[in-house]
A and B are shown apart, each in its own frame.
Chain A
Amino acid sequence: MSESLILDVRNVTKRYDSLEVLKGITLGLKKGETKVVIGPSGSGKSTLLRCINHLTTPDSGEIYLDGEEIRDANINAMRARMGFVFQDFNLFSHLNVLDNVRICQMKVKGADKKAATHRTEQELARVGLEEKAGAYPAELSGGQQQRVSIARALAMDPVVLLFDEPTSALDPELTGEVVRVMQQLAADGMTMVVVTHEMSFARQAADEIIFMENGHIVEQGSPDAMFTSANNERTRAFLNVIADHG
Chain B
Amino acid sequence: MDIYDVLLRDFPFLLKGLGVALVLLALLLVMGFILGLAICLIQLYGPRSRFIQWPLIAYERVFRGIPIIIMLFIFYYGMSGLLDITSFGAAVLALGFRSSAYQSQIFRSAFQSVPAGQMMAARAMGMSKLKAIRHILFPQAARHAIGPWTNEFSSEIKETSLAYVIGVVELTRQAHYIITSTQGNVLTVFAVVALLYFIVNRAGNSALYAFERKLAVPGFEK
Q: Which A residues fall within an 8 A CB radius of B?
A: 53, 55, 76-84, 86, 88, 90-94, 103-104, 107-109, 136-139, 149, 152-153, 156
Interface size class of B (residues with CB under 8 A): 20 to 34
Known: A90-B120, A92-B136, A103-B135. A79 touches B219 (CB 8 A): no
- Of the A-B pairs whose beta carbons lie under 8 Å apart in the complex, a sample of 16, sorted by A's number, is A76-B127, A78-B126, A79-B123, A83-B125, A86-B121, A91-B121, A92-B118, A92-B121, A93-B217, A104-B125, A107-B131, A136-B218, A138-B218, A149-B121, A153-B125, A156-B125
A53 B124 Cβ-Cβ under 8 A: yes
0/1 per residue, B119-140, Cβ < 8 Å to A?
Answer: 0111111111001000110011
B126 A156 Cβ-Cβ under 8 A: yes
- Is B65's CB within 8 Å of the partner chain A? no
- Is B45's CB within 8 Å of the partner chain A? no
Q: In the complex, which residues of chain A have a beta carbon less than 8 angstroms from the beta carbon of B125?
A: 79-80, 83-84, 104, 108, 152-153, 156
- Is B220's CB within 8 Å of the partner chain A? yes
Add 17 more A-B contacts to A79-B125, A138-B220 (CB < 8 A): A55-B120, A55-B124, A79-B126, A80-B125, A90-B117, A90-B118, A90-B121, A92-B122, A93-B140, A93-B220, A94-B139, A94-B140, A104-B122, A136-B220, A138-B217, A152-B125, A156-B126
B117, B120, B121, B220 pick with most chain A CB within 10 angstroms: B121
Q: In the complex, which residues of chain A have a beta carbon less than 8 angstroms from the beta carbon of B218?
A: 136, 138-139
Majority SS at the chain B contact face: helix
